[in-house]
């Protein structure tokens, strides 16, 4: 391949034609990956990336032959200890690939979903699969209904840039959950280190609710007008893997901090307008009923200026950390949901 490198260097100056000799100005670029890009601009690095590592690829392809219903099965049956993509099979025989966390607290965690806010300005528009893509509409109290149906969407490698839900969400019978908040667009191989918050439960609470969120949300529907603020679902204590109670607190807005207690994950919150949310990540609402500012997912109807996968994380429109607005870090991070 070396002669290619030489050829490139020669050809470049002759034929690539920029509109201006300087690179395009990009003052708004804040993407975490740009440093990688810059490094990759050297011909040497590109050349190295360019040669496929077949040995590694063969190793990864062996995982396609595994027969397991969860990452926990894979850990037990195949003694795999490496984070990454594996093939799973549902009880009905549907085969799919997802990410397994094989290291946290003993490993065996299956990524089953991610909640990604594609536009904080959208009000239950395209891309709001975890609330509604039908507009804010009281006639559709369940919205898209994805918290309690068998629809699937997205792909594991895109879980931080779009909503993701795989068959494991409804198929795996699990005991505990783990949640990672990973900045948008981060690649899979850096999710663990890039996460701004990671935690898991360890009291096997899912046993009580049918073994997964699909079943839990049948009992506690994420539905407009299903109950009042006092009718929320379970709050489960969490063990932190990255972050702590104090760091959880400051990820949400100052006003929100007066309403919740950190150190829990809460399911099916209801706000004062009787809108339902699916998950309050890292916290338990204690006083007040303004959960739309710090809980995610939802039914199909909210206050007219709310509605969306992160229903009202931007309420005070002040780029976060003011009033009811969540921090920019939180608003621009996908929420990855794991089972074990």
Tokens of 210: 């049918």
| Least distance CB 293 / a copy of itself (angstroms) | 18
Residues 129-158 that bind a copy of itself (CB under 8 A): 133-135, 137, 139-141, 144-145, 148-152, 154-158
| Rg from Cα positions in the chain | 22
Binding track, positions 223-242, relative to a copy of itself; x by CB under 8 A: x-xxx--xxxxxxxx-----
Q: Which of 191, 173, 202 is nearest to 264 (CA)?
A: 202
Q: How far apart are the first and last CA of the chain?
A: 45
How far out from the chain centre does Cα 107 lie? 18
Tokens of 339: 């089972």
| Least distance CB 133 / a copy of itself (angstroms) | 4
| Least distance CB 157 / a copy of itself (angstroms) | 5
- Which of 210, 254 has the CB closer to a copy of itself? 210
Residues 91-120 that bind a copy of itself (CB under 8 A): 91-95, 97, 118-119
Distance CA 139, CA 177 (A): 32
Distance CA 96, CA 186 (A): 22
Strand partners, 285: 260
Residue with tokens 């890292």: 282
Only segment of 84-92, 191-199, 242-250, 252-260 that touches a copy of itself (CB under 8 A): 84-92
Among 2, 54, 79, 246, binds a copy of itself (CB under 8 A): 54
| Least distance CB 6 / a copy of itself (angstroms) | 11
Among 78, 85, 328, 331, binds a copy of itself (CB under 8 A): 85
Binding track, positions 172-201, relative to a copy of itself; x by CB under 8 A: -xxx---------x-xxx------------
The CA–CA distances, whole Å, from 324 to 68, 184, 237, 316, 320 equal 44, 22, 24, 6, 8
- 53 lines the binding site for a copy of itself (CB under 8 A): yes
């Amino acid at each position: 391949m070396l002669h290619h490198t030489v050829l490139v260097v020669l050809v470049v100056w002759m034929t690539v034609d920029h509109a201006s000799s300087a690179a395009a100005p990009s003052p708004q670029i804040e993407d975490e990956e740009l440093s990688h890009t810059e490094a990759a601009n050297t011909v040497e690095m590109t050349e190295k990336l360019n040669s496929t590592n077949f040995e590694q690829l063969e190793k990864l392809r062996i995982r396609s032959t595994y027969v397991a219903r969860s990452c926990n099965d894979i850990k037990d049956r195949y003694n795999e200890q490496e984070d990454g993509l594996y093939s799973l099979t549902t009880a009905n025989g549907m085969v799919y690939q997802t990410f397994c966390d094989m290291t946290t607290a003993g490993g065996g965690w299956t990524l089953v979903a991610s909640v990604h806010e594609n536009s904080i300005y959208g009000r239950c528009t395209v891309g709001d699969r975890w609330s509604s893509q039908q507009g804010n509409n009281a006639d559709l109290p369940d919205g898209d209904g994805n918290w309690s149906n068998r629809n699937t969407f997205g792909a594991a490698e895109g879980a931080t840039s779009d909503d993701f839900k795989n068959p494991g969400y409804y198929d795996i019978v699990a005991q505990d959950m783990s949640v990672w908040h990973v900045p948008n667009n981060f690649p899979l191989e850096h999710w663990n280190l890039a996460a701004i918050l990671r935690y898991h439960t360890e009291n096997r609470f899912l046993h009580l609710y049918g073994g997964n969120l699909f079943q839990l949300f049948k009992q506690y529907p994420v539905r407009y007008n299903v109950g009042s603020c006092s009718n929320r679902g379970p709050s489960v204590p969490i063990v932190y893997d990255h972050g702590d109670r104090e760091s959880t607190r400051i990820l949400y807005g100052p006003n929100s901090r007066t309403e919740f207690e950190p150190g829990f994950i809460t399911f099916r919150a209801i706000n004062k307008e009787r809108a339902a949310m699916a998950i309050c990540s890292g916290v338990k609402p204690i006083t007040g009923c303004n959960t739309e500012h710090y809980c995610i997912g939802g039914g199909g109807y909210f206050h007219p200026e709310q509605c969306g996968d992160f229903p009202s994380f931007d309420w005070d429109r002040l780029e976060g950390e003011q009033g009811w607005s969540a921090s920019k870090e939180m608003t621009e991070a996908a929420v990855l949901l794991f089972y074990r």
